[in-house]
Each structure stands twice: as structure tokens, then as C-alpha cells.
Amino acid sequence: MYSRIVSTGSFIPSKFLTNEDLEKMVDTSDAWIYPRTGIKSRPIMDEGTTVPDMAFYAAQKAIENLKQKDSNFDVQDIGLIICATTTSNYLFPSCACQVQGKLGIDDCISFDVAAACSGFVYALSVADKFIKTGTVKKALVIGADALSKTVDPTDRSTIILFGDAAGCFIIEASEQPGIISTHLHANNNHGDALTLRNKQFFENNYLEMEGNKVFRVAVAELSNIVTETLEANNMQESDVDWLVPHQANIRIIEATAKKLNLPMERVILTIEKHGNTSAASIPTAFDFAVQNNKFKPGEIILLEAFGGGMTWGSALVKY
Ligand code: ACO
């Protein structure tokens, strides 16, 4: 038994903060930001919107897309909702429970996963296991975050990076893969290099980051996880058709593509327009590729992410 991605959807706020806007807010420039990060703009969630709202809009889109292929699909058949987020409006009810309510689902397993920017790969891995064990048949896996709301507006080293968005996969039980394998890791040795304190317990609750350290750990561990994922499946670099990376920094992405011997045309990139949308970056980039008919049935796609914790992970998918 495997799980298989049957639909995707995403929500990107309509308001964007550009590098030119940032030049007016902090001591920075497009000439500094773009070559170092690959980012030109980032979507910013409206004041009246919440992370569960964005998660719901992305889920609705994925459901609409699925209904076009399968008119019998009924939301009550969803047995599991996992939302990867670290920026939901409430600690409880979870973002997943709020999405369940907004979708009008009477009863299904619903919970959040917190693994910062690796959250979506973590959530996908957990949902895959629920399906593989036969516990549920259909699941919504959502990545939704609004890290732009957590940065110090005077800190030029973090405000340039983060945007807000939500993306959703619908996965279901299948005889064929699907999700071939997932690989998750965490190591707290460098946990202090990327932190976001809980508002209830700290006065300073801005996101704090030692960018250099995060960069070094990310490049090293993403290289290791490429090797681990390929070896676990007896595959070569040339077997991978597409890379859908967490969109944190174009230079980190280029390093992973190089490790895979993959030309950049085979890497799904949304970073220039969207920046780093944390747990939303992989599902929104994947959905962007699907909507633009990039993937062909049977192609092999590698998803990879790293984030606060430090956490990192990958998922190998047959489309
Ligand atoms: N504009 C102009 N100058 C800046 C800016 C800016 N926006 N930001 C920093 N600088 C300055 C610094 O003050 C420093 O100046 P100094 O030498 O006079 O002290 C200089 O530029 C170099 O700073 P570094 O931090 O060493 O810059 P670096 O080359 O490492 O680039 C960056 C910074 C882009 C943040 C990079 O380290 C990076 O992308 N790291 C990865 C971060 C990341 O991906 N985080 C998300 C993780 S995912 C998650 O879980 C949330």
C-alpha cells in the first residue's frame, strides 16, 4: 500500500512587499538582496486574514481541482488533516481543526505539525504513514505560514527573507507509488541559530537567525539527504526528473541541484516572487508546477526542506 498525490492547491496573498519597498524601510538594497537570496518580492497576508484562513483557501482550491477530475469526491471522505505551521492564530484549536470546521467535515483526525520550514515534508511523511497503515484512505496535507508577521521590522537580515502563503496536497491510498519514501531528521546542536519564541512566555518574540550558520548547516545536510534518499531507493542522480526544494535561498537551492547533477530548468523555483514562505514553500511551488503542466506521469520528483530545530527532510515522489 502506498499513498499518492491526487490534487494540489495553493493560496498566495495578493499584496507583495518588494525589494524597492524594503529599501524605504531598512538600510538595504535590491543589489544586496537579490544576488544573495534570489528574492525580489514576498506575499504579505492581509491584517484581517489568519493562517487557518490561508490554509482553508489552499485546501478549497485542492478540493476544487480534484472535483474536476473526480465528481464523486466528497469532503466527508477525508480521514485526516495535518497542517504544518508555526504561525497559527491559536495554539488550540489547531490550524488543522479550524480548517476541518471551515470545510464542514463532521469527523476526521486533525492536528498540526511544527517543524518550521521543514514542516510540510514532516506532515507529508506522517500522513503517508497513516495511509500506508490503512488507518485512513484520504488526507489533506497543508503547509501554511505567515513568518512575515514574526520578524522585527527594523532587522534587515530577516525582514528581507520571509513571505506568507499556504499550499495543500490531497493524498490517497493507492496500489502504486505515489510517495516512494520520506526521510526526516532533526538535530538541536544548532537550534539557537534560528528561533521564534512563544509570545506567552517572552517579551522579545521576534524571529532571530544566524543566517550564516543556517546556510552552512542547510547546504551540508541537504547534500547528505540527497545521498540518503537515492541510496534508500537504489537510484542514481539521473533517475530524478525534478527537484522541488524549500525556497529559502537560491544559492542553497543551486548547491542541492548541483549535488543531483540537475540543470536549473529541472528545479521548480518560486523564490524570486514568493521568498521563503516556510512550511508553505514546497506545496505552493509543487502546485505552481502542476498548474503549469511541468510534471509528466511517472516522473520522479524530489522534495527537500530544512528549517528551525534544526530540522530537515525529503520526500521522493512518483508523479
Ligand atoms: N542589506 C544589506 N546588508 C545586510 C543585509 C541586508 N538586508 N542583511 C545583512 N547585511 C549585512 C550584515 O550586517 C553584514 O554586515 P557586516 O559585515 O558589516 O557586519 C553583512 O551584510 C554580511 O552579513 P551575513 O549575515 O554574513 O550575510 P550572508 O552572506 O550570510 O547573507 C543571508 C545573509 C542571505 C540571510 C544568508 O545567510 C542566508 O540566506 N542564510 C540562510 C537563511 C535561511 O535560509 N533561513 C531560513 C531557514 S528556514 C526556517 O525554518 C525559517
Res 204: pLDDT? 86
Query: Of 116, 141, 174, at which residue does a domain stop?
Result: 174
Residue 19 and residue 160 in one domain: yes
Residue 82 and residue 151 in one domain: yes
317 C-alpha to ligand 1 centroid (Å): 32
- Residue 314 pLDDT > 90, yes or no? yes
Look at the chain and report how many structural domains it folds into: 2
- Residue 4 pLDDT > 90, yes or no? yes
Question: How many separate helices (H) and strands (E) can be counted in the chain?
Answer: 10, 13
Residue 186 and residue 109 in one domain: no
- Residue 183 pLDDT > 90, yes or no? yes
Residues linked to residue 146 through DSSP beta bridges, in sequence order = 164
Residue 7 and residue 138 in one domain: yes
Enter the pTM of the model. 0.97
Could you tell me if the CB of 19 is within 6 A of ligand 1?
A: no
Res 307: pLDDT? 98
d(CA 24, CA 16): 15
User: Which residues, in sequence order, are CB contacts of 129 under 8 Å at separation 6+?
Assistant: none
Over residues 81-109, mean pLDDT: 98
Residue 170 and residue 192 in one domain: no
Res 192: pLDDT? 97
* Residue 40 near residue 34, CB atoms below 8 Å: yes
Could you tell me if the CB of 113 is within 6 A of ligand 1?
A: no
Cell of 76: 466527508
Nearest Cα residue to atom 10 of ligand 1: 157
Could you tell me if the CB of 154 is within 6 A of ligand 1?
A: no
38 C-alpha to ligand 1 centroid (Å): 12
d(CA 105, CA 80): 10
Over residues 39-51, mean pLDDT: 97
Q: Is 117 a catalytic residue?
A: yes
Mean pLDDT over all residues of the chain? 97
Over residues 22-26, mean pLDDT: 98
Give the alpha-carbon dihedral of 96, 243, 13, 150, to 10 degrees: 70
Task: Write the DSSP symbol of residue 267.
Answer: B
Over residues 219-233, mean pLDDT: 97
Query: Of 107, 140, 174, at which residue does a domain stop?
Result: 174
Residue 147 CA: nearest ligand 1 atom is 51
- Residue 19 pLDDT > 90, yes or no? yes
Q: Which of the following is catalytic: 19, 65, 249, 276?
A: 276
Could you tell me if the CB of 163 is within 6 A of ligand 1?
A: no
Query: What percentage of the chain exceeds 70 in pLDDT?
Result: 100
Cell of 138: 484520504
Structural domain that includes position 217 = 179-318
| Residue range 146-164, pLDDT digits in tens | 999 999 999 999 999 999 9
Hey, which of 160, 212, 213 would you mutate to test ligand 1's pocket, going by the most ligand atoms within 8 Å of its Cβ?
212
- Residue 264 pLDDT > 90, yes or no? yes
Residue 243 and residue 121 in one domain: no
Res 195: pLDDT? 98
